[in-house]
Amino acid sequence: MTGAGSRRRSLAILAATLLVLTVAASAGAQYYPPGPPGNGVVISDDGLVLPVREIRDDGYLVTTTCWNEGVVTGGTYISHVEVVIDPGHGGSETGAVGSNGLTEKALNLTISNLLIEELRDRGFNAILTRTTDVRIPIVVRAEIARALKPDVFLSLHHNGGATARSDLPGTEMYHQIESANSRRLAGILYEEVQQALAVYDVAWRKTVFQGASSVLRVEVQDDLYGILQYTPGIATVITEAAYLSTPAEARLLADPEVQRVEAVAIADGIERYLTTTDPGSGFNPMFSTSRKLSAGGPGGCKDPELGDIGVDEPGFDDVPDGTHRPAIDALRDAGILDGTECGPDLFCPRQPIKRWMMAVWLVRALDGADPAPITESRFVDAPPDRWWTPYVERLAELEVTRGCGSGPARFCPYDLVTRGQMASFLKRAFDLGAGRPSGFVDTAGSTHAEAIDAVASSGITRGCGVLPPHYCPGANTTKSQTATFLGRALELVPRVPSLGGRG
Ligand SMILES: [Zn+2]
């Protein structure tokens, strides 16, 4: 398996000790690496997100919050996420301050918390770079992103310093000069956030940057903003929704309802970016500058007291004891669920499973290993740069899926999986023979009826209800149900007496 499961278990038995080596990070011409990309992060009990530089027998060599080096044991290890939200500023860096005393660092965190909840409610695996009022240099925020290689990295800010009056919000989205993905994400986010805020009638302010923009710093011939410059290959955007420095806008942004509206608009944008090919709009021609930004560096940053990083308790915090828990725990221990959590120690058990996630679980279950990286994908809607695409490709290679459409071939990675479809996937994946009639009263005429009989005869399902026995073939399969199907198929948990046997 991936090894992460056993690694996690062995760490859990180590004493939760922490040694901060306080090796001064050497600032090279470029701020990356130190950590190899894709190594994951460790999250402490206090919510500090520590990018992993090296996985060792005795713990993790990590980058600390202030860009030093440290060794930690325990904590929650996260290998992949779909979305990283980076609430701008924190600690001694307040960011913009409204005339009503609202600080940008607090506002950014409040909206980021609402956004992360919204994303998890929609079944996305998302984490924050900070959950508390802590200072984090930009190089560390970028390193967190590189360690996780998310599909979306969003640095969430609110603006200051506008001068010109405007009929519409001065919303700005900054994207990476070199990245078509970053640019498309910025254009979609601009549409969503601008539309959501424009319904409010206040004395808006704007600058020439209103819209989706990129800024070249001529001396380095690269992005002006470090967070965009230090995250190559990751679709990164800075959102600057409205001007906190304008009294009317500061009052508006202090309203919890408006904060929620902004969070939902950003979630809508992220979902559209991930699940559609919409091009976005509001693009400006590239700006150039000789200005060098001074804020956000690591100089003078003092690492917060890490203290007890915490021993990772086995199991997810949001999975109740009951039918599905044994299978979920077993799959987690086997490393099959790595990267498909919905947050640190969160599984979101009632969320319907998406096709890409099912592919990840099935491939790990069948191969007992992660697939090799790929540079090309047979499906147009499974881009090679998504971390789960190699699993989709492998699932097709194993002839468990042919995709969801042809001309060009598509996989529909974000579509949900009905229980009927799941039966067909399981029958093909585990090569189940034809089963006896299952006796379910709701499967006659279903294209998946034979597969459902096979899955029931193998003791992988008992259906969704009794008196009379039902299978609910049209209902979406939840993550819990999928875990139980898979746990039984792999015999990590006992199979159930088959209904068909009773005649
Ligand atoms: Zn800011």
Fold topology of 4-289: Aminopeptidase (3.40.630)
d(CA 158, CA 105): 9
The Cβ of residue 283 has, within 10 Å, a number of other Cβ atoms equal to 18
CA of 8 to the centre of ligand 1 (A): 36
- In terms of DSSP H, where are the helices of 175-299? 180-197, 226-229, 247-253, 256-275
**Average pLDDT, whole number, for the chain?**
90
Question: Which residue in the block uniquely carries the two structure tokens 């609910």?
Answer: 472
Q: Give the pLDDT confidence of 162-186 residue by residue, as tens digits.
A: 789 999 999 999 999 999 999 999 9
CA of 160 to the centre of ligand 1 (A): 8
**pLDDT at position 2:** 42
The Cβ of residue 56 has, within 10 Å, a number of other Cβ atoms equal to 11
**pLDDT at position 175:** 98
CA of 294 to the centre of ligand 1 (A): 13
Ranges of CATH 3.40.630.40 domains, the chain: 4-289
Which residue would you say has higher pLDDT here, 346 or 23?
346
Of the pLDDT bands very low, low, confident and very high (cuts 50, 70, 90), residue 312 is low
Q: Give the pLDDT confidence of 405-464 residue by residue, as tens digits.
A: 999 999 999 999 999 999 999 999 999 998 899 899 999 999 999 999 999 999 999 999
CA of 318 to the centre of ligand 1 (A): 33
CA of 131 to the centre of ligand 1 (A): 16
CA of 96 to the centre of ligand 1 (A): 6
Q: Give the pLDDT confidence of 257-287 residue by residue, as tens digits.
A: 999 999 999 999 999 999 999 999 999 999 9
pTM: 0.90
**pLDDT of 74 strictly over 50:** yes
CA of 134 to the centre of ligand 1 (A): 14
CA of 95 to the centre of ligand 1 (A): 5
CA of 104 to the centre of ligand 1 (A): 6
Work out the average pLDDT over 26-51: 77
CA of 157 to the centre of ligand 1 (A): 4
Work out the average pLDDT over 242-247: 94
Q: Which residues are 156's β-sheet partners?
A: 87, 239
Work out the average pLDDT over 473-480: 97
Of the pLDDT bands very low, low, confident and very high (cuts 50, 70, 90), residue 30 is low
d(CA 371, CA 391): 6
The structure tokens listed for 347 are 């599984």
Work out the average pLDDT over 72-96: 93
Of the pLDDT bands very low, low, confident and very high (cuts 50, 70, 90), residue 303 is confident
d(CA 414, CA 437): 32
CA of 155 to the centre of ligand 1 (A): 9
Closest CA to 130 of 62, 65, 215, 218: 65
CA of 9 to the centre of ligand 1 (A): 39
CA of 298 to the centre of ligand 1 (A): 16
Burial classification of residue 248, based on how many CB atoms lie within 10 Å of its CB (0-12 exposed, 13-18 middle, 19 or more buried): middle
d(CA 233, CA 215): 17
Instruction: Judge if the upstream peptide bond of residue 473 is cis by omega within 30 degrees of 0.
Output: no
Q: Give the pLDDT confidence of 367-394 residue by residue, as tens digits.
A: 999 999 999 999 999 999 899 999 999 9
CA of 302 to the centre of ligand 1 (A): 20
**pLDDT of 237 strictly over 60:** yes
59 touches 7 (CB < 8 A) = no
CA of 477 to the centre of ligand 1 (A): 41
CA of 87 to the centre of ligand 1 (A): 9
Which residue would you say has higher pLDDT here, 190 or 291?
190
